[in-house]
Amino acid sequence: MGWWFARSLAALGLVLAGGLCGALLGAPLHAPLPGTIAGGLLAMLLLVLRDSLRGQSLMHWLRGPLTAAAPRDAGFWGELAYRIERALRQREQRTHQEQERLAQFLSAMEASPNGVMLLDDAGQIEWCNSVAAQHFGLDPERDLRQRVTNLVRMPAFVAHLQGGRLDEPVVFPGPLGRCTLSVLVRPYGGGAKLVLSQDITERERTEAMRRDFVANVSHEIRTPLTVLAGFVETLAGLPLSEAERQRVLVLMAQQTDRVQALVGDLLTLARLEGSPPPVVDRWTSAATLMHKALEDARALSAGRHVIEGSGGDEAELAVSETELYSAVGNLLHNAVRYTPDGGRIALRWVWRSDGGAQIEVTDTGIGIAREHLGRLTERFYRVDGSRSRDTGGTGLGLSIVKHVAQRHGGEIDVHSEPGKGSTFRLVLPAMRVRRRREQASVTPAPLLER
Ligand code: ADP
């Protein structure tokens, strides 16, 4: 028995009651039948009026913003209002949940390190994240609903979008020419497109550097090998005197040394690049390290220069000794090689106001013109190629020094004036250096001067 039965029963009862009242009122006037009909009609009219009022109140609520509660009523109208309101609230809740999910999804795409852009089937921008906006020079708010090819006019991009092979990424320079973009377009959902962009400037640069590096290494190795091959031919094919043979062997040994030095430096660089930074767990004497490096430099100079050292007696280092030794050694060897005979070379330890320290190598050598200073630490960069090679240089020394400095959290800087000399500073941060404590067990060797 549903609400309609109760409602029909009540309406019938009311009409009957109206008719009965009409009959009672009509009897004294000798008109019981018209009284009954009039009473019944009046009751029906009242019922219709009451329904209209309740329906009107529900319609009023439905036409409004639906923020207030539905009109509370008993019976049919009450249940109708309640059910409409419940269906509406459920739909609102679902829409709200979907909106939240969409917002979450968009913020995930916003967090993507790559550019993401959604195009509709007419090629208009539906949405793009800030990375895509930056890649394509767009405004993520203002440019919505604009045709993308009206805003991004790079020919490679337009051609790709309009008929390129969409399964392959297209590479082209970014709109401001400052970067290289790799863009992949994926169609979805009936003509819409997902455009994924990636800034590959750094990758391209690394790739170019790798190509240059391989070309340089090949060239550096091929030259001495060609010379060696020539000497081998000479030895095999020509009847040489003992003196000539000895001379050729000396020249061959020089070329072998050159290849050996190059391979050694390449291995050092590979080790530096492929291993984690040295840990700060053991303190060693700075003076001992400087002393050893000075001895080596004096041996290389063989008395042709005045080489002196100063400072660092009380200093301790938390570094990779082999790495730092090789860095300081490289700086001193360069000073010897690029300073004419009779020049002065100094190795100094200087404390810095920030708690760190710097190891300085100063010479009175040929110096370096300003335009070369920024590129000195590039691999195989030489100011004067033949001087470098003649003195046994590989073009990798300062690259090694820079790597060692950076691995210890430091840096290298250069001051130089052509014809006057140069100063190379290897700066170490405070965490890598300290003043020796009284109880420390290390006893550094004093720095010798000559
Ligand atoms: P190289 O093996 O050629 O010396 P480096 O990387 O050690 O390679 O140095 C790069 C270039 O920097 C050298 O070729 C040289 O031109 C210049 N250079 C380095 N040290 C000095 C110095 N003390 N005085 C003048 N020029 C220097």
* Ligand 1 atom at shortest distance from the alpha carbon of 365: 24
Q: 209 lies in which domain range?
A: 205-274
Q: What is the CA(2)–ligand 1 centre distance, in A?
A: 101
Please indicate, yes or no, if residue 95 is contained in any of the structural domains: no
pLDDT given for residue 438 in this prediction: 56
* Ligand 1 atom at shortest distance from the alpha carbon of 392: 2
Shared domain for 416 and 307, answered yes or no, is yes
Domain with residue 187: its CATH number is: 3.30.450.20
Of 98 and 80, more confident: 98
Shared domain for 192 and 210, answered yes or no, is no
Contact (CB, 8 A) for 267 and 403: no
Is the CB of residue 362 below 6 angstroms from any atom belonging to ligand 1?
no
**Of 334, 360, 379, 396, which is best to mutate to test ligand 1, by the most ligand atoms within 8 angstroms of its C-beta?**
334
Contact (CB, 8 A) for 331 and 424: yes
Is the CB of residue 393 below 6 angstroms from any atom belonging to ligand 1?
yes
Shared domain for 342 and 399, answered yes or no, is yes
Contact (CB, 8 A) for 377 and 405: no
**Of 257, 260, 339, 376, which is best to mutate to test ligand 1, by the most ligand atoms within 8 angstroms of its C-beta?**
376
Shared domain for 72 and 34, answered yes or no, is yes
H or E element at residue 60: helix 32-63
Q: What is the CA(353)–ligand 1 centre distance, in A?
A: 29
- The residues with which 75 forms a beta bridge, in sequence order, are none
Task: Give yes or no for residue 423 having a pLDDT over 70.
Answer: yes
Is the CB of residue 384 below 6 angstroms from any atom belonging to ligand 1?
yes
Shared domain for 267 and 299, answered yes or no, is no
Q: What is the CA(406)–ligand 1 centre distance, in A?
A: 19
Instruction: Report the domain count for the chain.
Output: 4
Please indicate, yes or no, if residue 37 is contained in any of the structural domains: yes
Contacts of 181 (CB under 8 A, 6+ apart): 135, 171, 172, 173, 174, 197, 198, 199, 200
Please indicate, yes or no, if residue 384 is contained in any of the structural domains: yes
Task: Give yes or no for residue 449 having a pLDDT over 60.
Answer: no
Amino acid identity of residue 352, one-letter, is R
Shared domain for 259 and 397, answered yes or no, is no
Please indicate, yes or no, if residue 128 is contained in any of the structural domains: yes
**Of 337, 344, 360, 368, which is best to mutate to test ligand 1, by the most ligand atoms within 8 angstroms of its C-beta?**
368
pLDDT given for residue 291 in this prediction: 96
Task: Give yes or no for residue 194 having a pLDDT over 90.
Answer: yes
* Averaged pLDDT for residues 378-407: 91
Shared domain for 147 and 168, answered yes or no, is yes
H or E element at residue 260: helix 242-274
pTM, whole model, 2 decimals? 0.68
Of 441 and 135, more confident: 135
Is the CB of residue 175 below 6 angstroms from any atom belonging to ligand 1?
no
Shared domain for 146 and 121, answered yes or no, is yes
Please indicate, yes or no, if residue 105 is contained in any of the structural domains: no
DSSP secondary structure string, 393-442? --S-HHHHHHHHHHHTT-EEEEEEETTTEEEEEEEE-GGGEEEPPTT---
Domain with residue 295: its CATH number is: 3.30.565.10
Phi, psi dihedral angles at 348 (to 5 degrees): -130, 145
Token pair, residue 115, equals 């550019």
- Find the angle CA(35)-CA(41)-CA(46) to the nearest 5 degrees: 125
Interatomic CA distance for residues 380 and 393, integer angstroms: 10
Q: What is the CA(321)–ligand 1 centre distance, in A?
A: 23
Is the CB of residue 349 below 6 angstroms from any atom belonging to ligand 1?
no
Q: Left (φ > 0), alpha (ψ -120 to 50) or beta: where does 55 sit?
A: alpha
Domain with residue 253: its CATH number is: 1.10.287.130
* Averaged pLDDT for residues 78-90: 91
Interatomic CA distance for residues 70 and 61, integer angstroms: 6
Which of 249, 274, 299 is the last residue in one of the domains?
Answer: 274
Cα torsion 331, 335, 337, 338: sign? positive
Select from 48, 50, 54 the least CA-distant residue to 78. 54
Please indicate, yes or no, if residue 131 is contained in any of the structural domains: yes
**Percent of the chain scoring above 70 in pLDDT:** 96
Is the CB of residue 22 below 6 angstroms from any atom belonging to ligand 1?
no
Phi, psi dihedral angles at 278 (to 5 degrees): -60, 140
Shared domain for 386 and 334, answered yes or no, is yes
Shared domain for 422 and 291, answered yes or no, is yes
Q: What is the CA radius of gyration of the chain?
A: 45
Shared domain for 242 and 270, answered yes or no, is yes
Q: What is the DSSP letter of 124?
A: B
Q: What is the CA(388)–ligand 1 centre distance, in A?
A: 7
Is the CB of residue 364 below 6 angstroms from any atom belonging to ligand 1?
no
Q: Per-residue pLDDT tens for 226-285?
A: 999 999 999 998 888 899 999 999 999 999 999 999 999 999 999 998 889 898 888 999
Q: What is the CA(118)–ligand 1 centre distance, in A?
A: 53
Which of 253, 274, 295 is the last residue in one of the domains?
Answer: 274
**Of 377, 378, 382, 403, which is best to mutate to test ligand 1, by the most ligand atoms within 8 angstroms of its C-beta?**
382
Stated length of the chain:
450
Give the residue, by CA position, lying nearest to ligand 1 atom 16.
383
Of 173 and 177, more confident: 173
Shared domain for 310 and 245, answered yes or no, is no
Q: Left (φ > 0), alpha (ψ -120 to 50) or beta: where does 195 sit?
A: beta
Is the CB of residue 332 below 6 angstroms from any atom belonging to ligand 1?
no
* Ligand 1 atom at shortest distance from the alpha carbon of 377: 6
Which of 274, 296, 327 is the last residue in one of the domains?
Answer: 274
Task: Give yes or no for residue 30 having a pLDDT over 90.
Answer: no
Average pLDDT value for the chain:
90
Q: What is the CA(268)–ligand 1 centre distance, in A?
A: 17
Interatomic CA distance for residues 231 and 233, integer angstroms: 5
Is the CB of residue 397 below 6 angstroms from any atom belonging to ligand 1?
yes
Give the residue, by CA position, lying nearest to ligand 1 atom 14.
382
Please indicate, yes or no, if residue 223 is contained in any of the structural domains: yes
Please indicate, yes or no, if residue 98 is contained in any of the structural domains: no
Give the residue, by CA position, lying nearest to ligand 1 atom 18.
334
